[in-house]
Structure 1
Amino acid sequence: MTHLRTAAGGLLAALLLALLPATAGAAPSGPATAAEGPRVALSRTEGGKGGEITVSGSGWKPGALLMLLVCGRAEPGRGVVGGTNSCANTDGRAATVDARGAFSAKLPVAEPPVPCPCVVHVAGVTGQQDTVDVAFTVAGHPTAPLPESAGRPRLAVLASARLEGSSGVLVWFGAPARREIVVTLGNLGQTPVEDPVFEVGTSHGVFAPRYEERQWRGTIEPGRKALVKLPVELTAGAHGDYQVSVRHGGAVLVEQPWGVGRPWGVTLFWVLLALVVPAALFRIGMVVVDRVRPPLDGRRARGRTPAPAPTPVSAATSASASESTAVLPWFTPDSAPSETSPTTKGQA
């Protein structure tokens, strides 16, 4: 019995030792997969103008809206030199991530406005701000080497940023508020920075900023500084506490608060509208009533008994009536004194 227990124990130990290497080798695969983040794959890595490829991905945030572009002067891991100005924007496509975090879309092969090396650039527009570049060859398109320092951030903020500009009268009635964020940047690298592309975003409350590209025209020589002004614009009717962010090369350079007043002109407009519209409707109603109801004389005539019509009088009757009214009742023609009749005065 003892020999059987010893043999069973040895067999169990051997099985555990045999499974341990496999388990140890498989354990890191889970965290490594989770740490990879969003991924993108292409149906083929080369194509000519007018063709079409299928772009698919996984590991993205469900519901995110993505932008797919063919860009030049770019390499995976180094970004796109010049931003979307180096991409074939008119032939871009949009894709929405499904509930599993995956997407698949058709993308036409187009020639970017700058030479290759080229990539298929997948960037989050809403819901996710990640970007992934996959190398792609556009057949027949020119090729040129990238600058040695392309894609590396070399700019630093030398002074605090500020917002310049003022709101006009239209902003008081809900027009978009506009400002310029002004910042002094210095070139800490060894090569000039020509026409850098910045990303300017605005955020409100707990929402993440939505970035838009702004290209600054000019060159910052090594060891020199420059005053950079970038336009910022909010949506119509926006008000409250906002934060303006500027980033370059994936790094946030500036964060500046911006307090936007409430558009009281809109409130005043609705108050006046609430007063004017009822008054106008009342006036219109009174005019309609005056036109529909009968005249006042007609209403009075219907409310009383009509007077009898006067009896017609003939000419003879009127003449006799005039004669009778001409003679006094106490005087008649027969009683009038005559000149030949004697008077009673003086008689006995």
Structure 2
Amino acid sequence: MTRRSTHRAPAARLLTVLALVAALLTGTAPWATAADPPTVTLSRSQAGAGGSITVKGAGWGSKALLMLLVCGQSSPARGVIGGTNSCANGAGRAVTTDPRGTFSRRLPVVEPPRPCPCVVHVATVQGGPKAQADAVLKVAGHPVRTLPAESGAGQLSMVTDTRLDGSSGLLTWFGAPPARNFVFTVGNVGPSPVRNPVFQVGTSHGVFAPQYEEQQWRGTIAPGRKARITLPVELTGGAHGDYLVSLKYGGKVLAEQPWGVGRPWGVTLFWILLCVVVPAAAFRIGMAVVDRLRPRDQRLSGRRRSARRLPVRTKRLPGTRPVPARRPDPEAPQDGVASTTTTLPWFAPDTGPGGPAAGQLSAPPDNSRTTKGNT
């Protein structure tokens, strides 16, 4: 037993060392700590409107697209209270992190639409994990007001089962605003009930920041209870592409849901038909006006000329042969009136009107000349 355990000890130690090395390489060691939250630092904590500062960050995702904004009525502890409506969106800047998750960007200092306390708000737009961080900034000359007091109400979190209900109709295919219902389940983890909570629902397209709108839900959520909430979401007319619906409460993003909107092909079809029908109608109207303004004699001559061009075809009954035209008799009276003799179908050849006399037994041959009466 001693010899066997002695021989197995080096192999066990080797396996243990290999396991520890693999754990270190994969970041799954038992003593490995979670990744540090992203940080934001400013070159100056105070600046006047019209100046600029340098914003640096670390701990962000690799090759992530970030948005930098100057926001009012905000603090690092409570976040941006009024959402992006409290930020100077027009002076915002975008930056892409390097492979190590760090960045450095110059940001112009402008006065936000809300009074200070102000912060530089950095949030992930695309790529990497969703994260956000704030750094305190004093904007010289901008008014300062105290932040609204926090209510002792409960805290809403634990949003689950998020989805967009609804479908696009025929009017949306022709450019009507697409609309959906944002459905989610939220729970109250605080000690007090939440009555008529006010949520912020925003939609974003591409790299643009979401535009939030406040929507109030009527109801009460008791402590430790959950509630199924439905909020309407609507885009502008003719919108199409990939959108992102965000839900915020208390300055924090609780949920996000992607939304793919199809192109309104009905509008394209309408313009194609308009480009075809309008020129055709204008051409018809122009031809009618030209024909109306032309003199009457020219119109009549044109109609007769078109009628003469039409080929005249004679229909022949089946089983009959065409009869050759007879030559005019030089001894026949030339009175200008052509007389033809026809045999009606219900008379015999010898008894028809204009045939031979009753005493004549047979009709003269076709090539004989007609004889005149007694002279």
What TM-score results when the alignment is normalised by the length of structure 1?
0.50
Tell me if the contact between 1:197 and 1:213 (Cα under 8 Å) persists in the aligned partners.
no
Q: CA deviation at 1:213?
A: 2.8
Larger-gyration structure (1/2):
1
Deviations 1:104-163 (A, max 9, x none): 1211245834x74x422234557786533112346773445975999x974234777562
Which one of 98, 112, 115 corresponds to residue 114 of structure 2? 112
The reply on whether 1:93 has 2:94 as its aligned counterpart is: no
1:180 is aligned with what amino acid? Answer: N
Cα distance in 1 for residues equivalent to 2:189 and 2:84: 24
1:93 is aligned with what amino acid? Answer: A
Cα distance in 1 for residues equivalent to 2:234 and 2:224: 31
2:184 is aligned with what amino acid? Answer: V
Cα distance in 2 for residues equivalent to 1:93 and 1:241: 24
The reply on whether 1:44 has 2:41 as its aligned counterpart is: no
Cα distance in 2 for residues equivalent to 1:298 and 1:274: 32
Taking structure 1 as reference, are residues 106 and 201 closer, same or farther at Cα in structure 2, changes over 3 Å only? closer
2:106 is aligned with what amino acid? Answer: S
Tell me if the contact between 2:73 and 2:147 (Cα under 8 Å) persists in the aligned partners.
no
Which one of 138, 141, 144 corresponds to residue 144 of structure 2? 141
Tell me if the contact between 2:64 and 2:124 (Cα under 8 Å) persists in the aligned partners.
no
Taking structure 1 as reference, are residues 271 and 212 closer, same or farther at Cα in structure 2, changes over 3 Å only? same
Unmatched runs of 5 consecutive residues or more in structure 2: 1-34, 302-375
Matched-pair identity in %: 42
Cα distance in 1 for residues equivalent to 2:242 and 2:95: 31
Taking structure 1 as reference, are residues 98 and 202 closer, same or farther at Cα in structure 2, changes over 3 Å only? closer
Q: Please name the residue that 1:341 is paired with.
A: none
What SS does the aligned partner of 1:108 have? coil
Count the aligned residue pairs: 253
More helix by share: 1
The reply on whether 1:189 has 2:187 as its aligned counterpart is: no
Cα distance in 2 for residues equivalent to 1:198 and 1:242: 16
Taking structure 1 as reference, are residues 239 and 97 closer, same or farther at Cα in structure 2, changes over 3 Å only? closer
Cα distance in 2 for residues equivalent to 1:240 and 1:184: 27
Q: CA deviation at 1:188?
A: 1.7
Q: Please name the residue that 1:283 is paired with.
A: 284
Deviations 1:60-113 (A, max 9, x none): 88895734123334216x53345335x3x3586222437975421211245834
Q: Please name the residue that 1:177 is paired with.
A: 178
Taking structure 1 as reference, are residues 298 and 142 closer, same or farther at Cα in structure 2, changes over 3 Å only? closer
What SS does the aligned partner of 1:170 have? helix
Q: CA deviation at 1:283?
A: 0.9
1:216 is aligned with what amino acid? Answer: Q
Tell me if the contact between 1:111 and 1:141 (Cα under 8 Å) persists in the aligned partners.
no
Q: Please name the residue that 2:24 is paired with.
A: none
Q: Please name the residue that 1:229 is paired with.
A: 230
Q: CA deviation at 1:181?
A: 1.7
CA RMSD of aligned residues (A): 5.2
Deviations 1:197-252 (A, max 9, x none): 4455578xxx8997543433367553344453323234544569988665663453
Taking structure 1 as reference, are residues 178 and 40 closer, same or farther at Cα in structure 2, changes over 3 Å only? same
What TM-score results when the alignment is normalised by the length of structure 2?
0.48
Unmatched runs of 5 consecutive residues or more in structure 1: 1-34, 301-348
Taking structure 1 as reference, are residues 109 and 273 closer, same or farther at Cα in structure 2, changes over 3 Å only? closer
Cα distance in 2 for residues equivalent to 1:70 and 1:43: 17
2:53 is aligned with what amino acid? Answer: T
